[in-house]
Chains A and B, each alone.
Chain A
Amino acid sequence: MNIRFSDYIDDIKGVLLVCFSAALFFTLILAAFGMGTARLALLWICFCLILFPTLICCWRRKRNRLSYLGDVLDGLDSKYLLAEIADAPDSALEEFYFRLLRTALKSMTDEVAASRRQTREYQEFLEQWVHEIKLPVTGIQLLCENNKTEVTRKILAQTQRIGQDVEKVLFYARLGAAEKDCLIREISLRDCVMDVLARNRQLLMESGASIHTEHPSHTVRSDSRWLAFLLTQLISNSLKYRGDRAPVLDIASREAEGCVELSVTDNGLGIRPSELPRIFDKGFVGSNGRGAGSAGATGMGLYLCAGLCQRLGIGIAAESDWNRSTSVRLYFSDTPCKEGQ
């Protein structure tokens, strides 16, 4: 991307026009004083011989300068520092442009810094709030546990839902720093799955789910809290989109193509083939999410999962038999093995 000769001529066509009209004017005067055509032609040739090399020279200088600026820009990580990094301008006009550029970029970086600070404060507030809301939720859980009746069981199931949603907020707020906030350890998939099931048992029991977890026996290297969050989201989706049937969840792991695959399969509504490629998109609410009885689909759950998987280096893929089953698979590997989508 650089300036072409024709563009350059186009830029300075006013100056050229003045040059040629002056030349024409003097030709006419010299002709009026009786100078011969041959001499006039010689003068014109001389004029052109001076003018065109000068033009080409000027154009090349401009072109070199622009390509230099382009290279500097390409080489910079923070492109907004261009005006600070590039060599000092050689013309008054460029100097002026540089000043404009600097002022504009400065105002932009100020704006970005302000917005970044705002985001950080918002995120901190959110995290703080989540920790505060956990206190009453814990209180309710303990109260219900100590006073078991039919009603408190239902309350417990509802608080588990609140807990899930609160977790979602927390993990969304932290998603940007997922790499920093994790402890990668050797974890047993079985323990992790059992923990998630236990944490959501009231919900699962209330929905009458039957659960098969015979096979998750492998160990993987990952962060247990983030993985638990992923599984909770998948399970809560299975319960949410279960349709009229009693939910049957099959959680299994196997070794495949050099990585460990953990799958969560349900017998729910399934996903239409036309919607399958978009389920990991932010805010995507499919026909299931809009359907009756599943109010409040936000299209955030799977988007969060996909974003999290990307940061933790876990592959995620979904397949579905519409109206029969949905299966979401997670691929764990020490080296990135399969990019599912």
Chain B
Amino acid sequence: MDRILIIEDDSLIREELETLLSNQGYTAASVTDFRDVARQVREISPDLILLDISLPGQDGYQLCTAIRSFSAVPILFLTGRDTAMDELQALTLGGDDYVSKPYNIPVLLARIGLLLRRRTPAGAQPCPVEHRGVRLDTLAGTLSKGGRDIDLTRTELKIMYLLFRHPGEIVPRADIIEYLWDNEIHTDDNTLSVNVMRLREKLRALGEEDFIQTRRGMGYQI
């Protein structure tokens, strides 16, 4: 489990960031006492630091220099200031990346993931997954049942992946669309319907008639 340390003086943002990161499966800790932050960092020894620039006492730049003197932990600057100078300073002082407020949350999570992966090579994703006899192989991009494979397009694969992650639950259409957006597929409502229709046809070819159910006004369910 990756430990992420949040150094941010606004308490609401700090708490919500903690919630966000715990929801994503990280262990989040945060600094609440801004005296001698460097020592706290040394004690906690996190895998990643989210660092705000405007802090009481030492500012983020100084803190970054201080942390760099004893640790090579990835540091991601989060800040409201976003002039070219700020960015340059953040990166030259040993910061690894830079995200400006207001954050775009998927981008923030993607950057965090990237920095952590750079540090520790990720293990293989839990894959393939199986539900009611149908196997989804995300690496090969196929659906299979009884030894028969069917290739999926990128969009179809993403939709199936999301449904397989929530077996038995109703996944709202808005969630699916949002998930696709996070994965750089810009989908509207019609495109989603068309894709689900095509998925149903492919599943029918595998002999699964009602694998994906439509919950009218709510979403889809497997």
Contacts and interface: CB of A to CB of B under 8 A. Distances in A.
Contacts of B81: 131
Interface residues of A, number: 38
B105 A141 contact: yes
A210 B13 contact: no
Contacts of B191: 210
B105 A131 contact: no
Contact of A139 (B13, B23, B83): B13
A292 B212 CA distance: 42
Interface string A171-203: 000100000011100000000001101110100
Interface in A222-249: 223, 225, 246
User: Which DSSP category, helix, strand, loop or mixed, fits chain B's interface?
Assistant: helix
Contacts of A174: 83
Contact of A142 (B13, B82, B177, B181): B13
Residue among A137, A197, A198, A209 having the largest count of chain B Cβ atoms under 10 Å: A198
B102 interface: yes
Contacts of B189: 208
B174 A183 contact: no
Contacts of B106: 198, 201
A145 B20 contact: yes
Contacts of B175: 148
A146 B84 contact: no
B114 interface: no
A141 B10 CA distance: 14
A274 B118 CA distance: 55
Interface string B82-100: 1111011000000000000
B102 A183 contact: no
A213 B23 CA distance: 31
A84 to B, nearest CB: 36
B82 A201 contact: no
A83 B74 CA distance: 61
A183 B80 contact: no
A131 B182 CA distance: 26
A153 B191 CA distance: 20
B80 A135 contact: yes
B104 interface: yes
B184 interface: yes
B35 interface: no
Residue among B106, B175, B186 having the largest count of chain A Cβ atoms under 10 Å: B186
Nearest to A174: B83
Contacts of A132: 80
B101 interface: yes
B19 A146 contact: yes
B178 interface: yes
A128 to B, nearest CB: 10
Given A163-B102, A201-B181, A205-B178, A139 B186 contact: no
Contacts of B13: 135, 138-139, 142
A142 B84 contact: no
Contacts of A141: 102-103, 105
A223 B85 CA distance: 13
A208 B186 CA distance: 10
Given A134-B102, A223-B84, A142 B184 contact: no
A326 interface: no
Given A182-B84, A199-B104, A142 B16 contact: yes
Interface in B5-26: 10, 12-13, 16-17, 19-20, 23
B105 A145 contact: yes
Contacts of B87: 183
Contacts of B83: 174, 181
A179 B197 CA distance: 51
A104 interface: no
Interface string A127-163: 0000110110111011101101010010000010001
B107 interface: yes
B84 A209 contact: no
Which 5 interchain pairs have the tightest Cβ spacing? A142-B16, A211-B186, A131-B80, A210-B188, A134-B80
17 contacts: A134-B102, A138-B101, A139-B12, A142-B16, A142-B17, A146-B16, A148-B175, A183-B84, A183-B87, A197-B181, A197-B186, A198-B107, A201-B106, A205-B174, A205-B178, A209-B186, A210-B188
Given A135-B10, A195-B107, A210-B191, 19 more contacts: A131-B80, A132-B80, A134-B101, A135-B101, A142-B19, A148-B175, A159-B102, A163-B102, A183-B84, A183-B87, A195-B104, A198-B104, A198-B106, A198-B181, A199-B104, A204-B181, A205-B177, A210-B186, A223-B84
